Structure 1
Amino acid sequence: MRVGLAFLVIAYCLSQFFRAYLAVLAPLLREELGLSTSDLSFASGIWFISFAVMQLPVGWALDTWGPRRTVSILFSFGAVGGVVVMAMAQGPVGIALGMALIGIGCAPVLMASYYIFARVFSAAVFGTLAGVTVGVSSFGNLLSAAPLAATIEAFGWRETLWATSAFTALIAIGIVLCVRNPQKPAGEAKGSFAELLRIRALWPILAGMFICYAPVAGIRGLWISPYIDDRFGASLDQIGVATLVMGLSMVLGNFLYGPIDRIFGSLKWPILIGNAAVALMCLALFLAPPGQITATIVIFAVIGVCGASYPAVMSHGRAFLPPHLTGRGVTLLNMFGMGGAGVMQFASGPAHARFAQLVGTEDAYGLLFAAIAAAILLGLIAYSAAQDGPRYREG
Structure 2
Amino acid sequence: MTRGIALLGLAYVLSQFFRAFLAVLSPALRADIGAGPEDLAFASGLWFFAFAAMQLPVGWALDTIGPRRTAAGLHLLGAGGGAAIFALATTPLHIDIAMVLIGIGCAPVLMAAYYIFAREYPPARFVVMASVMVGVGTCGNLVASYPMAIAAETIGWRASLWGLCAITSLTALGIWTVVRDPVRPEGEARGSLLAVFKIKALWFIFPIMAVSYAQVGALRGLWIGPYLEDVFAADAHRIGLATLLMGSAMVAGTFAYGPLDRITGSTKWVVISGTTLNLVALFGLILYPSGSLFLAILLMAAIGFFGATYAIIMSHGRSFLPPHLIGRGMTLLNLCSIGGVGVAQFLSGRAYAASQPALTPQAPYVVIFTLFTGLMLAGLFVYLFARDTRH
TM-score range, shorter chain: over 0.9
Q: Given the alignment of the two structures, is residue 161 of structure 1 paired with residue 161 of structure 2, yes or no?
A: yes
Q: 1:138-170 deviations in whole A, cap 9, x for unaligned? A: 111100000111111110000111111111111
Taking the TM superposition and a 5 Å limit, the aligned residue runs for 1:361-380 are 361-380=361-380
Task: State the alpha-carbon separation in 1 of the partners of residues 379 and 166 from structure 2.
Answer: 40
Give the counterpart letter for 1:213 in structure 2: Y
Instruction: State the Cα distance separating 1:373 from its structure 2 match.
Output: 0.6
1:280–1:373 CA contact under 8 A, matched in 2: no
1:12–1:109 CA contact under 8 A, matched in 2: yes
Q: 1:7-57 deviations in whole A, cap 9, x for unaligned? A: 000000000000000010111111111112111101001111000000000
Task: State the alpha-carbon separation in 1 of the partners of residues 377 and 195 from structure 2.
Answer: 29
Instruction: State the Cα distance separating 1:360 from its structure 2 match.
Output: 4.1
2:290–2:362 CA contact under 8 A, matched in 1: no
Q: What residue is the counterpart of 2:4 in the other structure?
A: 4
Q: What residue is the counterpart of 2:142 in the other structure?
A: 142
Q: What residue is the counterpart of 1:244 in the other structure?
A: 244
2:17–2:140 CA contact under 8 A, matched in 1: yes
Taking the TM superposition and a 5 Å limit, the aligned residue runs for 1:60-99 are 60-99=60-99
Task: State the alpha-carbon separation in 2 of the partners of residues 37 and 278 from structure 1.
Answer: 25
Task: State the alpha-carbon separation in 2 of the partners of residues 290 and 184 from structure 1.
Answer: 56
Task: State the alpha-carbon separation in 1 of the partners of residues 263 and 356 from structure 2.
Answer: 44
**Farther-moved stretch of structure 1 (288-297 vs 232-241):** 288-297
Instruction: State the Cα distance separating 1:358 from its structure 2 match.
Output: 5.5
Task: State the alpha-carbon separation in 2 of the partners of residues 346 and 364 from structure 1.
Answer: 14
SS in structure 2 of the partner of residue 188 of structure 1: coil
SS in structure 2 of the partner of residue 20 of structure 1: coil
Instruction: State the Cα distance separating 1:183 from its structure 2 match.
Output: 0.9
Task: State the alpha-carbon separation in 2 of the partners of residues 348 and 289 from structure 1.
Answer: 16
Task: State the alpha-carbon separation in 1 of the partners of residues 71 and 257 from structure 2.
Answer: 27
Give the counterpart letter for 1:266 in structure 2: S
2:208–2:376 CA contact under 8 A, matched in 1: no
Q: What residue is the counterpart of 2:298 in the other structure?
A: 298
Q: What residue is the counterpart of 2:334 in the other structure?
A: 334
Give the counterpart letter for 1:175 in structure 2: I
1:279–1:372 CA contact under 8 A, matched in 2: no
Q: 1:106-158 deviations in whole A, cap 9, x for unaligned? A: 00000000000000011111000000000011111100000111111110000
Give the counterpart letter for 2:27 in structure 1: P
Instruction: State the Cα distance separating 1:380 from its structure 2 match.
Output: 0.6
Q: What residue is the counterpart of 2:352 in the other structure?
A: 352
Q: Given the alignment of the two structures, is residue 179 of structure 1 paired with residue 182 of structure 2, yes or no?
A: no
Task: State the alpha-carbon separation in 2 of the partners of residues 355 and 287 from structure 1.
Answer: 18
1:142–1:248 CA contact under 8 A, matched in 2: yes
Q: What residue is the counterpart of 2:126 in the other structure?
A: 126
Give the counterpart letter for 2:75 in structure 1: F
Moved >4 Å (runs of 4+): none
Task: State the alpha-carbon separation in 2 of the partners of residues 389 and 4 from structure 1.
Answer: 30
**Farther-moved stretch of structure 1 (26-35 vs 197-206):** 26-35
SS in structure 2 of the partner of residue 207 of structure 1: helix
Give the counterpart letter for 2:134 in structure 1: V
Task: State the alpha-carbon separation in 2 of the partners of residues 358 and 231 from structure 1.
Answer: 12
Q: Given the alignment of the two structures, is residue 218 of structure 1 paired with residue 218 of structure 2, yes or no?
A: yes
Q: Given the alignment of the two structures, is residue 27 of structure 1 paired with residue 39 of structure 2, yes or no?
A: no
Instruction: State the Cα distance separating 1:357 from its structure 2 match.
Output: 3.3
Q: What residue is the counterpart of 1:260 in the other structure?
A: 260
Instruction: State the Cα distance separating 1:385 from its structure 2 match.
Output: 1.2
Normalised by the length of structure 1, the TM-score is 0.97
Instruction: State the Cα distance separating 1:291 from its structure 2 match.
Output: 2.4
Instruction: State the Cα distance separating 1:371 from its structure 2 match.
Output: 1.5
SS in structure 1 of the partner of residue 83 of structure 2: helix
Give the counterpart letter for 1:194 in structure 2: L
1:128–1:258 CA contact under 8 A, matched in 2: yes
SS in structure 1 of the partner of residue 200 of structure 2: coil
Instruction: State the Cα distance separating 1:389 from its structure 2 match.
Output: 2.4
Task: State the alpha-carbon separation in 2 of the partners of residues 28 and 4 from structure 1.
Answer: 36
SS in structure 1 of the partner of residue 357 of structure 2: helix
Task: State the alpha-carbon separation in 2 of the partners of residues 28 and 215 from structure 1.
Answer: 24
Task: State the alpha-carbon separation in 2 of the partners of residues 349 and 33 from structure 1.
Answer: 19
Q: What residue is the counterpart of 1:59 in the other structure?
A: 59
Q: Which runs of 5+ in 2 are unaligned?
A: none
Normalised by the length of structure 2, the TM-score is 0.98
2:213–2:340 CA contact under 8 A, matched in 1: yes
1:59–1:329 CA contact under 8 A, matched in 2: yes
Q: 1:247-267 deviations in whole A, cap 9, x for unaligned? A: 000000110111221011111
Q: What is the percentage of aligned positions where both structures have the same residue?
A: 50
SS in structure 1 of the partner of residue 355 of structure 2: helix
Q: What residue is the counterpart of 1:228 in the other structure?
A: 228
2:289–2:362 CA contact under 8 A, matched in 1: no
**Farther-moved stretch of structure 1 (30-39 vs 230-239):** 30-39
1:218–1:345 CA contact under 8 A, matched in 2: yes
**Farther-moved stretch of structure 1 (311-320 vs 378-387):** 378-387
Task: State the alpha-carbon separation in 1 of the partners of residues 126 and 162 from structure 2.
Answer: 36
Rate the CA distance shift 1:23–1:343 in 2: closer, same or farther, 3 A.
same
Task: State the alpha-carbon separation in 2 of the partners of residues 322 and 163 from structure 1.
Answer: 41
RMSD: 1.2
1:146–1:244 CA contact under 8 A, matched in 2: yes
Q: What residue is the counterpart of 1:18 in the other structure?
A: 18
Task: State the alpha-carbon separation in 1 of the partners of residues 245 and 373 from structure 2.
Answer: 21
Instruction: State the Cα distance separating 1:290 from its structure 2 match.
Output: 4.8
Instruction: State the Cα distance separating 1:210 from its structure 2 match.
Output: 0.4
